[in-house]
């Protein structure tokens, strides 16, 4: 991919200032398709490189301050790979926008090979607490269901703390309910051993009898 090759060439120059230059240009031009794509490819490895880490953190803060969602999305992808790149996390995520949050949520389970499951769980937990919209919370639960294939016990512990069945009871929509049903098969043995999330009764939350 050309953007990846361009980003690698940029990093090979060992000049952190180049990351700031790309971020500023992306910020000013509302997500220039080429520059933004190169920046996104560069920020992912930058978070693991001590020489570039401060520049990457500054770039992510710049991107999250943009008006355009396409620009903020580049910052969200970098944050998904490296949670320490974003400070004042709750404020930034609340400004981010629903579709951006959903993209970050979809990305998180795929970075588990590079990031400890506990870190990804922390990120998903913050996303759950930041936005109470059923669509957003449904996306978080579906991400938990994918993550549970690799770390079922850790996900079960997280669900025990988040108590998602309360969100189901408070929601008039089926989004959260259906997402919760997706995550239960992989985590139920671990959840029930902790006395955590209660099992849904038939048709839970969708014209059914609620929770047992």
200 phi, psi to nearest 5 deg: -75, 135
Domain ranges, ordered by start, for the chain? 1-96, 109-212
Give CA separation, 68 vs 28, 78, 101, 122, 133, in Å. 10, 16, 14, 26, 21
The residue with greater pLDDT, 212 or 46, is 46
Whole-model pTM: value is: 0.69
Q: Name the phi and psi angles at 29, rounded to 5.
A: -100, 15
What are the tens digits of pLDDT across the range 68-99? Answer: 888 888 888 888 888 888 877 777 777 777 67
The residues, any chain, with a CB within 8 Å of residue 43's CB and separated by 6 or more, are 19, 56, 59, 60, 74, 75, 77, 78, 81, 85
The span from the CA of 196 to the CA of 199, in Å, is 9
Residue 156 has pLDDT above 70, yes or no: yes
pLDDT of residue 148: 84
- Cα Rg of the chain, angstroms: 19
Query: Contact 46/52 with Cβ under 8 angstroms?
Result: yes
Indicate the average pLDDT of the chain: 77
At residue 179 the predicted structure's pLDDT band, cuts being 50, 70 and 90, is low
Tokens 């361009």, residue located: 6
H helices of the chain, in order, are 2-11, 17-28, 33-46, 50-64, 69-81, 89-96, 98-107, 117-130, 134-147, 152-162, 164-170, 175-193
Considering Cα of 114, then 118, then 121, then 127, what sign does the dihedral take? negative
Average pLDDT over residues 60-68: 88
What does the CA dihedral 183, 189, 192, 194 come to, rounded to 10 degrees?
A: -100
Residues 6+ positions from 95 with CB-CB distance below 8 Å: 64, 72
């Amino acid at each position: 991919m050309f953007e990846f090759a361009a980003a690698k060439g940029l990093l090979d120059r060992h000049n952190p200032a180049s990351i700031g230059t790309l971020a500023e240009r992306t910020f000013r031009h509302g997500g220039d398709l080429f520059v933004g794509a190169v920046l996104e490819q560069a920020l992912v490895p930058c978070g693991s490189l001590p020489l570039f880490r401060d520049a990457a953190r500054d770039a992510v803060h710049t991107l999250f301050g943009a008006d355009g969602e396409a620009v903020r999305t580049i910052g969200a992808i970098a944050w998904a790979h490296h949670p320490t790149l974003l400070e004042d996390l709750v404020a930034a995520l609340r400004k981010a926008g629903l579709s951006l949050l959903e993209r970050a949520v979809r990305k998180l389970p795929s970075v588990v090979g590079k990031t400890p499951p506990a870190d990804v769980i922390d990120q998903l937990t913050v996303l759950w607490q930041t936005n109470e919209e059923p669509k957003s919370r449904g996306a978080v639960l579906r991400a938990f269901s994918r993550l549970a294939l690799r770390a079922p016990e850790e996900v079960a512990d997280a669900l025990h703390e988040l108590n998602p069945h309360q969100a189901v009871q408070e929601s008039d929509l089926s989004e959260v309910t259906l997402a919760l049903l997706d995550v239960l098969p992989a985590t139920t043995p671990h959840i029930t051993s902790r006395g955590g999330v209660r099992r849904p009764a038939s048709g839970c939350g969708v014209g059914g009898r609620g929770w047992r």
